[in-house]
Structure 1
């Protein structure tokens, strides 16, 4: 009996899933598959990785629903090509369905798997699912991609209508899953990782939070000031279409944040060099970074002597999350106060963030460093003290994570703000002038 395979990746849900909807309507019984990708996981040095635990939890939740439909998720731990070679020996695969992934590695992976399937006589279908608009759907009038957010967002909003927000009712076709005995979903320990005892943010987003988002989002002490949807969007445990539909009706500022996410995905697609360690603005690759390893260690540990910076880093290390306002402060501090290559910070966030997403992480770091397509100018150097006065004036957030900041035991600042600002302006200015002249 021929089957269709639904290959789950960053779309770990059984509702409003584009590829799953098409697979279930393909006329073949659908085998749901997830592969723990060894190409990715083997590079992770930290084995108590919260993201692996989150994925395991999401897979177990999916498995419970599939069991009710008399089916089962097949979970493999291998390099993707090897996983499909194995599946081809066990099943007669007519076609494979999956959703687009825009990261450089994912593009290469999908090309390789598609070639493997074609050689075996199986079709490979991919669909847009994790964004509202992708690839070439939002372009300038001359057909080139936008590199500035504001006009991109304007056209994005103009194009949005009910068609792009409609759900894919995959659940209506649950009877079309392949009938089979349930298989256990492996634990993190079973694939060489350590289960982390995290309480992950809920996928349910209260309307009240969206309504007041514009007035609460910049204050890290407010536990319910931001949506914490990043991890759910990263792994697809929520539908972007559902979130956009709610934001359109409730809060334009929250919608704007969702558009920023798509803008960075679009930049990564059109300019894949940014995902390979290159500055969007090539001149910024000529900055002579200081890259002091001791200062970088203090930044990572949260012992810079700047309480708001240290609070953010300690929150990140303890929880895998950092408030977005504080992400900007800590990133600016590393790149401009310490003149440490933004790629060092990008890589550290990539290891630590539960909601790590290449496009968003790279976009945020290049914004902070000034090297991005739509960046803070190099002469904007966040003042940690002023940022604290504006966004944590009662020091609630700071005291939570750095309770000793008023004690003698707290370290002296790793660098003087005024000196660091002056140094950054000089180093950036000279490097950019020289690069542009050359």
Structure 2
């Protein structure tokens, strides 16, 4: 269903702990609650990136003072004890002193509402937290859940927790989005004011950290193909990048009693606004997406055993279902990219990823895309603030087609390939990547509806939502896919369409791809399926003309 009623954005208007007071925001046509900074403000942010500010602060936050209690601060992108770089560093530091290792998860309900997430993703994270908490309990390591009732309370809550528990060292893993970086900047500034307290943020989400791969001129690469080649070269030259670190050492037995109140912390309940539509939906999605690290690694094992060898051949065919379906586990840090790639390399008989099995090469390329998107988010941080990478696309005059929007959300556009994708999303909280490309192209190109509304719909419905991936995937483009030719190429027998659009189950041959155009009027009327909301050819041309006009009419 369509979104309505709540304010939601990634803007400076209510930005966590450290928003500039001079913030300038604009509304999105068709959704007055969806806001974004002006392109000029986005450009300013790129010139003074939060990542660079945080990195400089962290260099000054390092300290060699003797450890007391040591804290690892879990985020929603590292919910595991296995190969967790920040957690491992905290564990090692705790071993150097006479104190204990403490862990913490900061729950901010208003952040969840503001940034958005789906019921499926929130449940997946909370269930994974329960598994993690049980694992840590067995090691006498407390996992404390603290809550910030207001978004601007996060720093105060963290600093109070540090003081209450006599913590000398704080570790966490880096998140690359603007709001999250600003949160860490705020904490880092407060840490600077304290004696005998340090704050270290590690790189855990990627094999090669952002900005590490440079172009010939010494600047960061901004095009994927050369980045991919350089990534392969870098990881081949430095196999230690795939080294995994052990799970944390346990605390002494007395720690559970000493930190009894922390150990008794309970994982939060689902927010009222994020409840499943029914108990049946909850059970179905939990079966589709079982929580926890072990479930993710089992899924990897199945993929390597059954599908990776045929991945290249069938990766664009959703009916073949050869995708790994590991994306939810990556997006919430339930599994480690290093652990996954190390195991994949072992399956590939030790060969590097561009050698050996061609399916491995093709699949790993998708993982490198994930690293590239984080790299780009650091270079152009405005991309995490509801602004397009190409800022000029913000000047496009979008259409206000509420009927088309509703049909798109429900999978009733009259375009089988688009409708199948949207219905899969609404049922599974997941969509095949090829369909993600198609439905986004249709919304912003053929319907000419502001792409940010579609991006937000994905946020609120995907179990594997990931801001870096999602924003780059929704970037507007002059390329507008033909839903008919794409379906004929990627669903040759129409099996995917028939699965998700059962009204067309009996349609034979190529009519399945365009029933309104290829069946007689009488045949089509028997289907109980809508005719196309818009003409593809006419609207594709309209979009190209609109882009050409509006992108060249403004200067930033």
Q: TM-score by structure 1 length?
A: 0.90
Distance change (3 Å), C-alpha of 1:296 and 1:119? same
The match for 2:240 is 163
Alignment of 1:336-375 (within 5 A): 336-366=445-475, 369-370=476-477
SS in 1 for 2:474: helix
Distance (whole Å) between structure 1 residues aligned to residue 498 and residue 125 of structure 2: 32
Given candidates 415, 418, 422, the residue that maps to 1:306 is 415
Unmatched 5+ residue regions in structure 2?
1-66, 277-281, 349-356, 508-525
Compared CA separation, residues 128 and 62, structure 1 to 2 (3 A):
same
Provide the residue aligned with 1:431 in structure 2.
550
Q: Contact 2:83–2:247 (CA<8 Å) still a contact in 1? A: yes
**Superposition pairs for residues 274-353 of structure 1, below 5 Å?**
274-353=383-462
SS in 2 for 1:221: helix
* CA gap 1:347/1:189 in 2 versus in 1, 3 angstroms: closer
Are 1:88 and 2:162 matched, yes or no? yes
What is the CA-CA distance between 1:240 and the residue it aligns to? 0.6
**Partner of residue 227, structure 1:** 324
For residue 184 of structure 1, report the CA deviation from its aligned partner: 4.9
Report if aligned partners of 2:109, 2:271 keep a CA contact under 8 Å in 1: no
- Indicate the residue corresponding to 1:30 in structure 2: 101
Find the aligned partners of 2:253 and 2:388 in 1 and give their Cα distance. 45
Q: Which has the larger radius of gyration?
A: 2
1:175 Cα shift? 4.2
Shift of 1:95: 1.1
The aligned runs of 1:196-275 (5 Å cut-off) are 196-197=282-283, 198-199=285-286, 200=289, 202-203=295-296, 204=298, 205-206=300-301, 207-208=304-305, 209-223=307-321, 225-248=322-345, 249=348, 250=357, 251-275=360-384
Give how far 1:93 is off: 0.9
Q: Is the 8 A contact 2:377 2:384 kept in 1?
A: yes
* Helix, strand or coil at the partner of 2:319: coil
Q: Deviations over 1:93-121 (max 9, x none)?
A: 10110011100001000111222333343
Which range is displaced more, 198-207 or 27-36?
198-207
Alignment partner of 1:387: what SS? Answer: helix
Aligned residues between the structures: 424
| Counterpart among 197, 204, 215 of residue 129 in structure 1 | 204
Query: Residue 29 of structure 2 corresponds to which residue in structure 1?
Result: none
Q: Give secondary structure in 1 for the equivalent of 2:383.
A: helix
**SS of equivalent to 1:43:** helix
Deviation at 1:264, TM superposition (A): 0.8
RMSD (Å) for aligned C-alpha atoms: 2.3
Distance in 2 separating the partners of 1:326 and 1:91: 49
Give the structure 1 partner of residue 40 of structure 2.
none
SS in 1 for 2:255: coil
Distance across 1 between alignment mates of 2:124 and 2:115: 15
1:375 corresponds to: none
**Helix, strand or coil for the counterpart of 2:318?**
coil
Could you tell which deviates more after superposition, 7-16 or 281-290? 281-290
Q: How far apart in 2 are the matches of 1:381 and 1:60?
A: 43
Structure 1 Cα separation of the partners of residues 532 and 253 of structure 2: 59
Q: What's the counterpart of residue 214 of structure 2? A: 139
1:393 aligns with 2:492: yes
Once residues 177 and 113 of structure 1 are traced to their aligned partners in structure 2, the CA distance between those partners, rounded to angstroms, is 31
SS state at 2:250 partner = helix
TM-superposed deviation, 1:189: 3.9
Gapped runs of 5+ residues in structure 1?
371-377
Distance in 1 separating the partners of 2:116 and 2:438:
26
State the SS of the aligned residue for 1:76: strand
Residue 89 of structure 1: how far off its partner (Å): 4.5
Residue 250 (structure 2) pairs with residue 174 (structure 1): yes
Q: 1:176 to 1:23 in 2, by over 3 A?
A: farther
Query: 1:348/1:191 Cα in 2 relative to 1: closer, same or farther (>3 Å)?
Result: closer
Distance between the aligned counterparts of 2:126 and 2:390, measured in 1? Answer: 39
Q: Deviations over 1:278-300 (max 9, x none)?
A: 22223323322213122111111
In structure 2, the CA distance between the partners of 1:91 and 1:191, relative to structure 1 (3 Å rule), is: farther
Measure, in 2, the Cα distance between the counterparts of 1:178 and 1:116: 31
After superposition, the C-alpha distances for 1:329-359 in whole angstroms (9 at most, x for unaligned) are: 1011111111112112111111111111111
Q: 3-state SS of the aligned residue for 1:214?
A: helix
**Contact 1:30/1:177 (<8 A) preserved:** no
